[in-house]
């Protein structure tokens, strides 16, 4: 029993919860970071989203168990390695999803709608969308956008168009980089593990990565100097955070192309010290500029 519980906890992928930090974007960029009620409800929403996402991860692992057994890294997970039974995984997944969605509607109805949409899109992705070239990565990007929207509805502020655009582009950058890493690491077995990879190639992915890289930086730069941003925060100094965005993207490209990394963006964000240090400095700088007046 203890072993089963431990394997279920391991399958919740706590390291992936870092993705749900996008929920805090609306809180920070609406200048409400020090508004206690808004911080509290955002924290509650964050943990609810994390629990639900863990249910989605387990569901995906159940569906992909046979393919994951062929993956050099995923095959070591509790479910494909046989340490966790499919039956127990199904029970845990259903429980996490039910509790997460149920509590989300009680926290705030609009938040529940967004979270339900996240679950539906991910189930659709698991069964169909992940087999459609380009659309598979765009679906992943939609998940990040829903996190941003979830954070906005929790505190009752409109979702910034600039924030949504930057989120879409950044998540596309990470998604295409992940596909490139999968092709490189799996080599001839890439199509077996993920059929959609037969429609990709390193050159094709590099073209799309180049496009989203440039547009991500440009969109963020334009956001920092837009009239809306300057009026909202009463400062033009956000432009000085652009170098952090540039370095972060360049560092990630270095890891993708020179170190054959990029398969797990959350792991890189936590283990690559230059990248982690850059993210922390960006957060500190943004906070000082927005709230330091």
CATH of residue 120's domain is 1.10.357.140
Is there a single domain that holds both residue 23 and residue 85? yes
User: Closest Cα to residue 123, out of 108, 109, 138, 139?
Assistant: 139
Q: Give the range among 9-13, 32-36, 161-165, 189-193 with minimum mean pLDDT.
A: 189-193
Is there a single domain that holds both residue 172 and residue 97? no
293 pLDDT band, cuts 50/70/90, is low
Is there a single domain that holds both residue 11 and residue 147? yes
Is there a single domain that holds both residue 155 and residue 273? no
Is there a single domain that holds both residue 173 and residue 146? no
Is there a single domain that holds both residue 129 and residue 175? no
User: Closest Cα to residue 77, out of 52, 60, 96, 97?
Assistant: 60
Is there a single domain that holds both residue 20 and residue 93? yes
Q: Is 259 in contact with 177 (CB distance < 8 Å)?
A: no
Is there a single domain that holds both residue 36 and residue 151? yes
Is there a single domain that holds both residue 117 and residue 200? no
Residue 74 CA: distances (Å) to CA of 6, 81, 225, 262:
17, 9, 43, 15
Is there a single domain that holds both residue 152 and residue 205? no
Check residue 189 and give its pLDDT. 59
Instruction: Give the residue with greater pLDDT, 113 vs 186.
Output: 113
Cβ partners under 8 Å of residue 62, min gap 6: 79, 86, 89, 90, 93
1 pLDDT band, cuts 50/70/90, is low
Total H helices, total E strands in the chain: 14, 0
25 pLDDT band, cuts 50/70/90, is very high
Is there a single domain that holds both residue 145 and residue 24? yes
- Within 10 angstroms of residue 144's Cβ, the number of other Cβ atoms is 21
**End residue of a domain, out of 138, 159, 180:** 159
Domain containing residue 107:
1-159
Q: What distance in Å separates the CA atoms of residue 159 and residue 147, rounded to the nearest whole number?
A: 11
**End residue of a domain, out of 110, 130, 159:** 159
Domain total for the chain?
A: 2
Is there a single domain that holds both residue 69 and residue 99? yes
- Within 10 angstroms of residue 78's Cβ, the number of other Cβ atoms is 21
Q: What angle do CA 212, 147, 182 make, to 5 degrees?
A: 50
**End residue of a domain, out of 131, 159, 187:** 159
Q: What angle do CA 177, 279, 212 make, to 5 degrees?
A: 35
pLDDT of residue 84 exceeding 90, the answer is: no
The pTM of this model reads 0.90
Residue 238 phi, psi (nearest 5): -60, -20
């Amino acid at each position: 029993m203890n072993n089963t519980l431990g394997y279920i906890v391991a399958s919740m992928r706590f390291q992936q919860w870092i993705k749900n930090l996008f929920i805090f974007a609306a809180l920070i960029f609406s200048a409400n970071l020090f508004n206690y009620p808004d911080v509290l409800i955002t924290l509650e929403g964050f943990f609810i989203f994390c629990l639900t996402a863990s249910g989605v991860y387990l569901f995906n692992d159940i569906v992909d168990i046979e393919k994951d057994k062929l993956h050099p890294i995923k095959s070591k997970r509790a479910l494909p390695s046989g340490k966790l039974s499919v039956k127990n995984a199904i029970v845990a997944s259903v429980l996490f999803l039910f509790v997460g969605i149920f509590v989300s509607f009680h926290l705030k109805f609009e938040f529940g709608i967004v979270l339900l949409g996240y679950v539906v899109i991910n189930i659709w992705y698991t069964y169909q969308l992940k087999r459609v070239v380009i659309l598979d990565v765009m679906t992943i990007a939609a998940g990040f956008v829903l996190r941003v929207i979830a954070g906005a509805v929790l505190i009752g502020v409109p979702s910034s168009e600039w924030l949504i655009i930057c989120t879409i582009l950044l998540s596309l950058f990470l998604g295409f980089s992940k596909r490139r890493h999968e092709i490189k690491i799996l080599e001839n077995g890439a199509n077996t593990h993920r059929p959609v990879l037969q429609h990709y190639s390193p050159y094709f992915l590099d073209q799309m990565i180049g496009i989203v890289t440039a547009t991500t930086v440009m969109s963020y730069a334009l956001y920092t100097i837009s009239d809306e941003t300057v009026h909202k925060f009463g400062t033009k100094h956000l432009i000085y955070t652009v170098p952090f965005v540039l370095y972060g993207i360049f560092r990630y490209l270095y890891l993708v192309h020179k170190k054959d990394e990029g398969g797990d963006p959350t792991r890189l964000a936590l283990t690559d010290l230059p990248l982690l240090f850059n993210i922390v400095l960006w957060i500190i700088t943004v906070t000082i500029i927005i709230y330091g007046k």
